[in-house]
Structure 1
Amino acid sequence: MHRSSSQRFVVVVPGMQFGPHVPVLAYASRAAAVRAAQVLPLSWQPPKGRSSLDLAPWVVDQVNLVLDKLAAARPGAVPLLIGKSLGSHAAPVAVERGLPAIWLTPLLQQEPVVTALAKSNAPFMLVGGTGDPAWDGSVARRLTPHVVEVENADHGMWVPGALTDSALVLGTIGRAVESFLDEVIWKVPAETRS
């Protein structure tokens, strides 16, 4: 799946509340940016008063709009999706378009997300914590070999204890994302990796 760096694009699909620049999304996006990817963060205000499952069609529409604009501007581009939580409702879009993805705290308790991920032919990574009710490690490992599971991490990837413990979690995720990008998505030769 090697692409020249001039054709590397990443669409960042946020969760429901905090936008595309929360720490876990920022680290994953930065890993792509330092590998010469153009990062396209999606900002949104999901409609109020609806469950995440009810918002799934809305998420699909929002992501398709961004991808259609990118396809018109850069025909042939195959972007990487990086999505968090609510953003994992874009999994059907990734499957339909054959896009690789990194899903951070995906909603693995919601069958439409799991069903879409099970159909994916493109590589994807799943990242979650055992303290997150939306996470199911056994489902994640059944879906992909690219899994990062953090003991006791909640939906924000925070762990109990000192703040530095949660900062270390970000480092662990960042390193795993870098490896996934270098070894799976963009196949960077080992001698040129940082």
Structure 2
Amino acid sequence: MTFGGAPTRWEPAGASRGVALVAPGRAYPPSAPLLEFARRALVQHGFTVQQIWWDSTSRDEGENPEQWVRRHVEAAHAAELRSSGVGDRVLVVGKSLGTRAASYAAEHGLDAIWLTPLLVDPVMVEAIAANAGRQLLVGGLRDELWDAATARELAGGGCDVLEVPDADHAMGTYDAVRTAEIHLEVARALDLFLSGL
């Protein structure tokens, strides 16, 4: 499957451990750095990766963001169960808007990686806290949508958390070198989390 000429599905070299559904941000596509590092780490650790591409401006007027994201993730999950045979183990990866899939992941007990989750939204926090699956949360203290106290509570409840003091919502700073260093921290956290699954 392709989108605009770019691959949307990636297979590991050997047998697949399962499938990772990658839900992007509002203006942060699957090809953007954090999700590209996640894709590489997932494939390296034996996961098939199915990227979800969307145009967030196409959302129906009456559909709230959570419903809209859930609909996309649910459709991708259903397609995996029908066609691929690797859908028995499913992991969800979301960035920002894509983290609104947290309630879907919680309902199904799916392991998840949440990049810059919207921790200022009580509905999101409740969904993350309710998930029996393993979860990694990644965020920065300079992100207005990240709440450090909530992140600590979720860590106490069993979530793995990477919190970077100087990172914004894109997990970066005004400085190019420091941004690259932060992205390396995220890549290491992804590798460690996936090694433990």
Q: TM-score, normalised by structure 1?
A: 0.86
2-side partners of 1:64 and 1:21: how far apart?
A: 21
* More displaced stretch, 53-62 vs 92-101: 53-62
Letter in 2 for 1:34: Q
2-side partners of 1:66 and 1:8: how far apart?
A: 14
- For structure 2, which runs of at least 5 residues remain unmatched after alignment? 1-13
1:19-52 CA distances to partner (integer Å, 9 max, x unpaired)? 111101111111011122111010001136899x
In structure 2, relative to structure 1, the CA distance for the partners of 1:113 and 1:17 (3 Å cut) is: same
- For structure 1, which runs of at least 5 residues remain unmatched after alignment? 186-194
8 Å Cα contact 1:152/1:160 also seen in 2: no
Letter in 1 for 2:190: V
- Please name the residue that 2:111 is paired with: 100
- Please name the residue that 1:72 is paired with: 82
2-side partners of 1:78 and 1:177: how far apart?
A: 18
8 Å Cα contact 1:103/1:125 also seen in 2: yes
- Please name the residue that 1:42 is paired with: 52
State the secondary structure of the residue aligned to 1:125. strand
8 Å Cα contact 1:29/1:82 also seen in 2: no
8 Å Cα contact 2:18/2:47 also seen in 1: yes
Aligned-CA RMSD value = 2.0
Does 2:180 align with 1:170? no
State the secondary structure of the residue aligned to 2:119. coil
Greater fraction of residues in strand: 2
Greater RCO, 1 or 2 (C-alpha within 8 Å, sep 6+):
1
